[in-house]
Amino acid sequence: MAVKVIIPTPLRPYAGKRDSVNLEAATVGEALNSLTSQFGELRKHLYSEDGRLRSFVNVYVNDEDIRYLQRDKTAVQPGDTISIVPSIAGGARA
């Protein structure tokens, strides 16, 4: 059984319009690497040029923020859900 990565609406155009992707990985870093090698366009949206996860993109394993776990090295178990949650600003005005 694989790990499920949930793709947020704003990033779906760069992930073949998929809302989630199942893949094999042992850590969050591996999962995101595998995801961005499958969908190259996603990389610049997730990582800055120096290879760090962008500060307006949060990644969760199940309901926990990886910043408070072991970040990229956070281990994942089969059946875990990884969520990518970018900041969105929509609200008032057209």
Partner 1 sequence: MATQTKNGAVATAADAKTLSNQEVLRYSRHLIMPEVGMDGQLKLKQAKVLMIGSGGLGAPLGLYLAAAGVGRLGIVDFDAVDFTNLQRQVVFGTSDVGRKKLEAARERLQNLNPEIRIDTFETKLTSENALDILRDYDIVVDGTDNFPTRYLVNDACVLLGKPNVYGSIFRFEGQASIFGYPGGPCYRCLYPEPPPPGLVPSCAEGGVLGVLPGIIGCIQAMETLKLILGKGEPLVGRLLLFDALGLRFRELKLRKNPDCPICGEHRTIHKLIDYVEFCGMRGEETPATIASAMPEITPKQLKSRLDRGDDVFILDVREPHEYQICNLRGHLIPLGELPKRVSELDSSLEIVAHCRSGKRSGEAVEFLMKAGFRKIMNLKGGILAWSDEVDPSVPKY
Rounded distance between C-alpha atoms, residue 13 and residue 3, angstroms: 21
60 binds partner 1 (CB under 8 A): yes
**DSSP-assigned letter for residue 2:** -
86 binds partner 1 (CB under 8 A): yes
Q: Which residue among 1, 49, 51, 93 contacts partner 1 (CB under 8 A)?
A: 93
**DSSP-assigned letter for residue 87:** -
Rounded distance between C-alpha atoms, residue 22 and residue 65, angstroms: 20
CB-CB contact of 14 with 6 (8 Å): no
64 binds partner 1 (CB under 8 A): yes
In this chain, which stretch among 25-33, 70-78, 80-88 interacts with partner 1, using CB under 8 A? Answer: 80-88
Q: By CB under 8 A, name the binding residues for partner 1.
A: 8-10, 13-14, 17, 19, 40-41, 45, 54-56, 58, 60, 63-65, 67-68, 83, 85-94
